[in-house]
Amino acid sequence: MLCTQPYISCGACPKSQPCLLPSTGVIKVYSEDNTSRAVEVPSDITARDICQLFILKNHCVDDHSWTLFEQIPHLSIERTIEDHESVMEVQSGWGMDSHCCLYFRKNYAKYEFFKKPLDFFPEHMVSISSETNGIMNHSQLIQTFLSSSSCPEIHGFLHAKEHGRKSWKKFYFVLRRSGLYFSNKGTSKEPRHLQFIAEFSDSDVYTLLSAKKVYGAPTDYGFCVKASKSSSARDLKLLCADDEQTRTCWVTAMRLFKYGMQLYQNFIQPYQKQKSSPMRSISENSLVAIDFSGHKTRVIENPSEALSVAVEEGLSWRRKSCHRLSSHGSPSASQSSMSSIAIHMAQPWFHSKLSREEAQKLITQQGLVDGVFLVRDSQSNPRTFVLSLCHTQKIKHFQIVPK
């Protein structure tokens, strides 16, 4: 009898409603070191809720850059799951044997385009249709993308993988609210020359993790458009840019066209005074930052100051931990001097035996925002260090020679 029923009613009452969807589910989330943690969560939980949960569980400092990523290994692609998206809905689109993963890590560039739009949208790639009856004001560039009454357009050359072939061909592409098109006649934008490629109501944009190696792309700045219900490589619309700034421009514009004002609401939400999160207990919501350094204690009311104090306390704890582990008791004078020399070992920006390629990959994962950096040991010159730094969406390496 049970085998013939489409579902089983919850409870013994004959009038009880059928249980079609579970109220909770279990998700598995990976960190950057590939360790994972499984947690039971409500079925309507969002990506922002997951990030807040793991910030609390991992005792991270919440600087609004923590992000949940969807990674599809068999396609070698990944994307940022937007803060408002339902994680369970994302998982429902995965195939049974797809081995898709959720990653919890920082992405400083997630909303950087709201702060510095001109860095993300070069003037030569953006135009406004004649329907707006005016010249685009770059100080109001983001408002142009967010307003449904305006018609911004992204255009430029991209490499596209021809369907059913291994070869890539360069075309002139145009991105509008209605979708993505390419021109079959040079740079012509006439309707008869534009061929439709994809629209974004039921599709998402992903970056390619190994564009050259996996897909034979001409550069490593690959991205693709994937239908939400598709899990086959044959259905991907594979594209490739000549540089990182061009790829970032296209991917960011696609996100804005798909989600519009919702992205801006996601951006400003952490800065607004919110009600207590259901993830936090009453005791956690009552915590305040207090400064004990002076003659009198004081409550730190400035959120920025409280954040910097939290970071400094964390670094101080790490330095003390390293000192305890290295001394094994009361340190001698030589041990004290050595611990002061090697104090960089406890800093979060020091990555020791990291290669140039690994450093570039790590910084790229964290978001190509001006000022993102790390320090590592030099592989070519012993006893020296290398500063790997992001500037204008390019990663540069500077050798540091101790004197």
What confidence tens digit (pLDDT) does each residue in 368-395 have?
A: 889 999 999 998 888 899 999 999 889 9
Q: What is the pLDDT of residues 303-335, one digit of tens each?
A: 777 777 777 776 666 666 555 444 444 444 444
pLDDT at residue 318, as a whole number: 60
Alpha helices in 65-206, H assignment, sequence order: 87-92, 112-115, 117-120, 141-146
Q: What is the pLDDT of residue 302?
A: 79
Cα angle 27, 104, 262 (rounded to 5 degrees) comes to: 90
Band of residue 186 on the pLDDT scale cut at 50, 70, 90: very high
Q: Place 230 in a pLDDT band, splitting at 50, 70 and 90.
A: confident
Burial of 304 (0-12, 13-18, 19+ CB in 10 A): exposed
Average pLDDT over residues 101-119: 92
Query: Looking at 3-7, 99-103, 216-220, which range is the least confident one?
Result: 3-7
pLDDT of the residue at 19: 47
Beta pairing class for 373-377 and 237-240: unpaired
What is the percent of the chain where pLDDT is above 90? Answer: 51
Interval 255-310: pLDDT, tens: 999 999 999 999 999 888 554 444 544 445 556 777 777 777 788 877 777 777 77
- pLDDT score, position 347: 84
Q: How far apart are CA 37 and CA 142, in angstroms?
A: 37
> 35 pLDDT exceeds 50?
yes
Residue 285's contacts (CB-CB under 8 Å, 6 or more residues apart) are: 276, 277
Q: Mean pLDDT, to the nearest integer, of 179-189?
A: 94
pTM reported for the whole predicted model: 0.75
Q: What is the pLDDT of residue 16?
A: 45
Beta strands 36-42 and 66-72: pairing type? unpaired
Q: How confident is the model at residue 139 (pLDDT cuts 50, 70, 90)?
A: low
pLDDT of residue 281: 45
Tokens representing 51 are 């990030």
Reply yes or no on whether the pLDDT at 106 is more than 80. yes
Query: Considering only 3-17, 117-131, 144-158, 234-248, which range has the smallest mean pLDDT?
Result: 3-17
Q: Is the pLDDT of residue 135 over 80?
A: no
Quickly state the pLDDT bin for 14 (edges 50, 70, 90).
very low
- Rounded-to-integer distance, Cα 176 and Cα 258, Å: 11
- Give how far the C-alpha of residue 103 lies from the chain's centroid of Cα atoms, to the nearest Å: 9
Instruction: Quote the CA–CA distance of 357 and 163 in Å, as a whole number.
Output: 31
Q: What's the pLDDT score for residue 63?
A: 86
Q: Which residues contact 138 (CB under 8 A, 6 or more apart)?
A: 117, 118, 123
What is the average per-residue pLDDT within 222-229?
92
d(C-alpha 255, C-alpha 80), whole Å: 10
The pLDDT tens digits of the residues spanning 342-376 come to 778 878 899 988 999 999 989 988 888 899 999 99
With a pLDDT cut of 70, the percent of the chain lying above it is: 81
